[in-house]
Amino acid sequence: MNLVLNNCLMILPGRKSAVGDIVVTNGKIDKILISPEERASSPRGIDLSGAIVMPGIVDAHCHAPMTLLRGVGGGLPLKRWLEEAIFPIEARMTDEDVAAGMTWGAMELLAGGVTCVADMYEHSLAGAAALAETGIKANVCRPGLAFSDGTPKGRLEECIDFVRNFSDPNNRLVADICIHSEYLTNEKFCRALAEANREFTRPLNVHVSETKREHEECIARHGKTPIAYLAETGLLDYGGYAAHCVWCTDDDFKIMADRNVSLVHNPSSNMKLASGFARVCRAAELGVNVALGTDGPASNDNLDMFEEMHLTSLIHKGVLLDPTVLSPWEVIEMATVNGAKALGRYDTGEIAVGKAADLCVVALDKPHLNPCVDAANLIVHSAHASDVAMTIVDGRIVYERSPEQSWIDINHERAEFDFEMSLRRLKIK
């Protein structure tokens, strides 16, 4: 896929911005032309004067099919929210519902500049097939569950087979191992999955220490924090990405740094469910790679990664009483290159020669985006997902705000029909 983007205000590695041209060849960034001499002979393509081009955003923790559950169970604490509002509807979901919700969620993500997502949900094969259609990159998984009254029949085998048999002809999707959490599994299940993973050597997608209660109950059950327990079962032997980590200790962060386990910060979800504030600055200080995620749209209630960037920047300044923590550049890195690292995708997340052409174009054609004195500050503190004008994955324009030929425009009507059908079938609307 060949593409030329001219006159872009680029967010570049090394925490700098510059105006220039990007030449994409076969889906990769082939040239970045900045000096007047280089640009004099630049090929002509799409004129992006007046737009910021940043690396494609990585949503490192999502449950995209929960677009179907947007607004369900508001105001309940996590345990009651899950057990009384969410699980009963999820129990009725079919492959078709998950596919419809996943497609709808992917459309929201792509329209908000997200080029890669880590998604965890039931009906994983149907969900992955729907994601593959949309053109987004994704780390998918089959979440491990083992309730106190036993493991759902065949679930361990399903989790293992999902990773063993997964393939995507376009190489945009990969499968990771997953357990929902320490509290929704048992030790036997965790050890068996860890043992099987010696064959796959994949990172673990997991929820960790989201609430104080969960963290303390794990210590009461196992004599260890959730991170220490997971490390002991072998599930972190090949790294991972742990969502939330709100109640993690310094020792937990040291284990995470040591085991290449990234912290995925979900500030909207943590505040909506009143879970607390993850100590991301401390985690980073102790060597943990910190990425950002939206979590599911039932606990957020959107998939707007610009909002997550904005909240991340503000919350930690406020909590630590320190305006110097988390510069806009650091926050952008969390939402891009750190997310890519968390998902083991070292070929994306930066505008650099040789990297995949996964890009997000933010148009500055609105009053709230002017003047553009500092591009990084504008992205983190002023922009919204709705300001994204174009999303590019592997050099292909997957979303474009106005014209006709983007994937979303072509498929919108069909996706809306499926989504409405599912909402009615699940008696949500």
Of 48 and 64, nearer to Zn ion (C-beta) is 64
Q: Is 21 near Zn ion (CB under 5 A)?
A: no
Closest CA to 360 of 95, 79, 106, 114: 114
Distance, in Å, from the CA atom of 330 to the CA atom of 376, rounded to the nearest integer, reads 9
Assess 394 for contact with Zn ion (CB under 5 A).
no
- When binding is defined by CB under 5 A, the residue of 21, 119, 182, 295 that contacts Zn ion is 295
Q: Which stretch binds Zn ion (CB under 5 A): 95-103, 291-299, 355-363, 370-378?
A: 291-299
Looking at residue 42, the DSSP 8-state letter turns out to be: P
Cβ distance to Zn ion smaller for residue 12 or 138: 138
Tell me whether residue 239 or residue 296 sits nearer to Zn ion (CB atom).
Answer: 296
Cα–Cα distances (Å) from 378 to 63, 84, 247, 336, 388, in that order, read 28, 40, 31, 16, 13
Nearest distance in Å: CB 274, Zn ion? 15
Is 184 exposed, middle or buried (CB count within 10 Å of its CB: 0-12, 13-18, 19+)?
Answer: middle
Residue closest to Zn ion when measured from CB atoms: 295
With b for 16 or more beta-carbon neighbours within 10 A and e for fewer, the 247-267 pattern comes to bbbeebbebbbebbbbbbbbb
Minimum separation from the CB atom of position 315 to Zn ion (A)? 18
Residue 308 interacting with Zn ion (CB under 5 A): no
Length of the chain: 429
To Zn ion, the closest distance from the beta carbon of 198 in angstroms equals 26
d(CA 27, CA 19): 21
String of contacts with Zn ion for each residue 146-175, x by CB under 5 A: ------------------------------
Nearer to Zn ion, 208 or 360 (CB): 208
**Closer to Zn ion by Cβ: residue 82 or 335:** 82
Q: How far is the CB of 178 from Zn ion (least distance, A)?
A: 11
Contact range with Zn ion by CB under 5 A, out of 14-22, 295-303, 308-316, 399-407: 295-303
Gap between the Cα atoms of 173 and 276, Å rounded: 32
**Encoding tokens for residue 63?**
């449950």
Q: How far is the CB of 174 from Zn ion (least distance, A)?
A: 19
Cβ 118 to Zn ion, closest distance in Å?
10
Q: Which pair of tokens denotes residue 203? A: 């990172």
Q: How far is the CB of 63 from Zn ion (least distance, A)?
A: 6
Nearer to Zn ion, 17 or 185 (CB): 185
Q: What is the C-alpha separation between 299 and 159, in angstroms, rounded?
A: 25
210 contributes a contact to Zn ion by CB under 5 A: no
The residue among 23 and 273 lying less far from Zn ion, judged by its C-beta, is 273
Q: Does 182 help bind Zn ion (rule: CB under 5 A)? A: no
How many residues interact with Zn ion (rule CB under 5 A)?
1
To Zn ion, the closest distance from the beta carbon of 304 in angstroms equals 16
Is 295 or 330 the residue whose CB approaches Zn ion more closely?
295
The secondary structure of 238-272 as a DSSP string is T-EEEEE-TT--HHHHHHHHHTTEEEEE-HHHHHH
Burial readout 46-59 (b: 16 or more C-beta within 10 A, e: otherwise) = bebeebbbbbbbbb
Look-up of token digits 């879970």 = 275
Q: Which stretch binds Zn ion (CB under 5 A): 22-30, 163-171, 288-296, 401-409?
A: 288-296
Rounded to 10 degrees, the C-alpha dihedral 299/301/303/309 comes to -80
> For residues 352 and 25, is the Cβ–Cβ distance under 8 A?
no
Instruction: Mark the segment that binds Zn ion (CB under 5 A) among 49-57, 188-196, 254-262, 292-300.
Output: 292-300
403 CB neighbour count, 10 Å cutoff: 9
Q: Does residue 418 belong to the site contacting Zn ion (CB under 5 A)?
A: no
What is the nearest approach in angstroms of Zn ion to the Cβ of residue 299? 7
Q: How far is the CB of 208 from Zn ion (least distance, A)?
A: 10
Residue 173 or 208: the one with the smaller Cβ distance to Zn ion is: 208
The reply on whether position 122 binds Zn ion by CB under 5 A is no
Can you tell me the distance from the alpha carbon of 10 to that of 359, in angstroms, rounded to the nearest whole number?
A: 10
Structure tokens at 187: 């030790």
What minimum distance in Å lies between the beta carbon of 269 and Zn ion?
A: 7
Question: SS3 for 422?
Answer: helix
Using CB under 5 A, which of the segments 137-145, 154-162, 287-295, 345-353 binds Zn ion? 287-295
Contacts with Zn ion, residue ranges (CB under 5 A): 295
